[in-house]
Amino acid sequence: MDTVGSEVILTIKGVSKSFPGVRALDGVSVDVRRGTVHGIVGENGAGKSTLMKILSGVYQKDSGKVVFDGQTIEHTTPQESMHRGLAIIYQELNLVNTMSVGENIFLGRFKEMKGMRGTHAKAGELLESIGCKISTSKLVSELSVSEKQMVEIAKALSFKSKLIIMDEPSSSLTGEEMCELIKIIHQLKAQGISIIYISHKLDEIFDFCDIVTVMRDGHVIDTKPKVDFTRDDLITKMVGRTIENEYPERPRCAGDTLMEVQSINTHKLHDISFTLRKGEILGLVGLVGAGRTEIVRALYGADKVRGHRVLIKGKPVTIRNPKEAKDAGFGFIPEDRKLQGLVLPFSVESNISMASISNFSKFGFIRKSLEKGIGTRQVKALNVKTPSTRVPVRNLSGGNQQKCIVGRWMEISPSIFIMDEPTKGIDVGAKYEIYSLMKEIAERGGAIILISSELPEVLNMSNRVLTIFEGRITGEFDPESTSVDKIMKAALGIVGGCA
């Protein structure tokens, strides 16, 4: 195996970790080799992030052994592990927004850098070494997610990291930004740095990982070179059963017009008009930033937009805010669920039931038992991994938190359901459950507007797609009879069209 290094940089042996009611890791053993990209995959709640947090010193293991770069690591802190050469880049990036790029990279080490001038000079060198041209004096708050990631990587390099952990780094990146990240990963690898790469996007795993570990229910199921896995094999090992298809058959739509949208105009959107039929899944395809999210936010009353008309079942409706949208029969899974959806200290059941029982009294017994009933039903339907519906939602793994938001809206069964990246961070098995629910909503006579950066998802689930480019609708297609190429061209603004 010429691409796969032989020297072991990290040994994890028999590591276990429990939280109240959950055995998150149960005797996990993995070796990571120098200069390799080591992919880790597994269902939501499999224990991936917990293992990484143990390595980086956020959590302490209950038992087992960790040897990093020849040193046995007992108790460690994030600070210590960073200095030892093990860096972790979280999805919720850890930078100080109000400080500059350079200051963030050398936070607390300005003296070592001989003051601010040295800090910025060295920070600039590090950024340049990964081909990044951000000015070191720019405030972090002004950066895009991908630029922030670059700063985190430069910071990791400033500690001469030998191992960099990336926990779902790609879920907020555009295609182009992802290409940048892949380039950097290759560069790091060439310098002998190892990367642990966690992702639910199997294409990425097959694209650039060397070795892959599959985890399930706190166990390691298998570790082997990527080339020895097939996609089916990997999925089967992840979910513990064979999945015949990644997508259910798309719903058969034949209904009447349910909603008509006429002329949404904002500084970003230009004359957006379309119809939505009963029983239909309508996909919006476009690049990140093309205006897809703005369209649905305008519809939902999340952004103040005036001047357009919305007719539901032929009757004009006024939607000035999300409450009016909900009353008009809309449901909305927003793109950024952490910020817009969950109340992290509240229980799983109260988060799930929040929208459906808002009319009941705030206190009292009935509300409590309703909450519990609703929570239990959705936890079961979406297979949310949690020891009980009473635990704070913040204790759940990333993907399971997302399922709670999906469950909240499923409970209301809105007639027009807007889903902006509904499967972001969700594992393959659970995605199928969400797709099946989408199909069910459509077959009950509801309609869905679907936005997703995963093109196969939109193309496999939608009855019809609209391509959006620079705030305009550039095409309308039947994804069953149109080539992907044609749709992509319209989404990239190259040609418009209908099919």
Ligand X SMILES: Nc1ncnc2c1ncn2[C@@H]1O[C@H](COP(=O)(O)OP(=O)(O)OP(=O)(O)O)[C@@H](O)[C@H]1O
Q: Which residues are at the interface with ligand X (CB under 6 A)?
A: 19, 22, 24, 42, 44-50, 385, 395-400, 427
CA atoms within 13 A on the CB side of 291: 24
Q: Which does 305 bind (CB under 5 to 8 A by kind): Mg ion, ligand X, none?
A: none
Give the shortest CB-110-to-ligand X separation in angstroms: 33
Q: Which does 341 bind (CB under 5 to 8 A by kind): ligand X, Mg ion, none?
A: none
DSSP class per residue in 329-398: TEEEE-S-HHHHT--TTSBHHHHHHTTTTTTS-SSSHHHHHHHHHHHHHHHHHTT---S-TTSBGGGS-H
CB 39 within 8 A of CB 213: yes
In the complex, residue closest to Mg ion by CB: 49
Give the shortest CB-42-to-ligand X separation in angstroms: 5
Count the Cβ atoms, other than its own, within 10 Å of residue 242.
9
Answer yes or no whether residue 398 interacts with Mg ion by CB under 5 A: yes
Q: Of the two residues 400 and 453, which places its CB atom closer to ligand X in the complex?
A: 400
Give the shortest CB-217-to-ligand X separation in angstroms: 9
Answer yes or no whether residue 161 interacts with Mg ion by CB under 5 A: no
Distance separating alpha carbons of residues 277 and 265, to the nearest angstrom: 22
Catalogue the E-assigned strands of 85-160.
86-89
Q: Of the two residues 58 and 357, which places its CB atom closer to Mg ion in the complex?
A: 58
Whole-angstrom Cα Rg for the chain = 24
Distance separating alpha carbons of residues 113 and 32, to the nearest angstrom: 32
Binding piece for Mg ion, criterion CB under 5 A, among 67-75, 200-208, 312-320, 391-399: 391-399
Q: Which does 9 bind (CB under 5 to 8 A by kind): ligand X, Mg ion, none?
A: none
Q: Which does 24 bind (CB under 5 to 8 A by kind): Mg ion, ligand X, none?
A: ligand X
Reduced to 3 states (helix: H, G, I; strand: E, B; else coil), residue 322 is helix
Q: Of the two residues 38 and 297, which places its CB atom closer to ligand X in the complex?
A: 38
Q: Which does 396 bind (CB under 5 to 8 A by kind): Mg ion, ligand X, none?
A: ligand X
Q: Of the two residues 41 and 151, which places its CB atom closer to Mg ion in the complex?
A: 41
CB 460 within 8 A of CB 250: yes
Q: Which does 156 bind (CB under 5 to 8 A by kind): ligand X, Mg ion, none?
A: none
Q: Of the two residues 48 and 337, which places its CB atom closer to ligand X in the complex?
A: 48
Distance separating alpha carbons of residues 295 and 305, to the nearest angstrom: 10
C-alpha distances in Å from residue 441, one per residue of 281, 428, 445: 9, 20, 7
Q: Which does 50 bind (CB under 5 to 8 A by kind): Mg ion, ligand X, none?
A: ligand X
Distance separating alpha carbons of residues 232 and 225, to the nearest angstrom: 15
Binding piece for Mg ion, criterion CB under 5 A, among 290-298, 355-363, 393-401, 447-455: 393-401
Q: Which does 457 bind (CB under 5 to 8 A by kind): Mg ion, ligand X, none?
A: none
Give the shortest CB-48-to-Mg ion separation in angstroms: 5
In eight-state DSSP terms, residue 228 is G
Give the shortest CB-235-to-ligand X separation in angstroms: 14
Q: Which does 124 bind (CB under 5 to 8 A by kind): Mg ion, ligand X, none?
A: none
Give the shortest CB-48-to-ligand X separation in angstroms: 3
Give the shortest CB-56-to-ligand X separation in angstroms: 13
Give the shortest CB-65-to-Mg ion separation in angstroms: 23
Distance separating alpha carbons of residues 444 and 283, to the nearest angstrom: 18
Give the shortest CB-433-to-ligand X separation in angstroms: 14
Q: Which two tokens stand for residue 463?
A: 């009855």
Give the shortest CB-358-to-ligand X separation in angstroms: 26
Q: Which does 385 bind (CB under 5 to 8 A by kind): ligand X, Mg ion, none?
A: ligand X
Q: Of the two residues 243 and 370, which places its CB atom closer to ligand X in the complex?
A: 243
Q: Of the two residues 301 and 398, which places its CB atom closer to ligand X in the complex?
A: 398
Which residue from 459, 452, 472, 461 is spatially nearest to 499, judged by alpha carbons?
459
Q: Of the two residues 190 and 339, which places its CB atom closer to Mg ion in the complex?
A: 339
Binding mask 39-58 for Mg ion (x = CB under 5 A): ----------x---------
Q: Which two tokens stand for residue 217?
A: 């229910």
Distance separating alpha carbons of residues 164 and 200, to the nearest angstrom: 18
In the complex, residue closest to ligand X by CB: 399
DSSP class per residue in 241-279: S--S-SSPPPP-----EEEEEEEE--SS---EEEEEETT
Distance separating alpha carbons of residues 48 and 215, to the nearest angstrom: 7
Q: Of the two residues 49 and 463, which places its CB atom closer to ligand X in the complex?
A: 49
CA atoms within 13 A on the CB side of 283: 28
Answer yes or no whether residue 170 interacts with Mg ion by CB under 5 A: no
Calculate the dihedral angle through the C-alpha atoms of 473, 479, 485, 490, rounding to the nearest 10 degrees: -10
- Count of residues near Mg ion by CB under 5 A: 3
Q: Of the two residues 220 and 272, which places its CB atom closer to Mg ion in the complex?
A: 220
Give the shortest CB-329-to-ligand X separation in angstroms: 31
Q: Which does 400 bind (CB under 5 to 8 A by kind): Mg ion, ligand X, none?
A: ligand X
Length of the chain, in residues: 499
Amino acid, res. 434: I
Give the shortest CB-53-to-ligand X separation in angstroms: 8
Chain residues binding Mg ion by CB under 5 A are: 49, 397-398
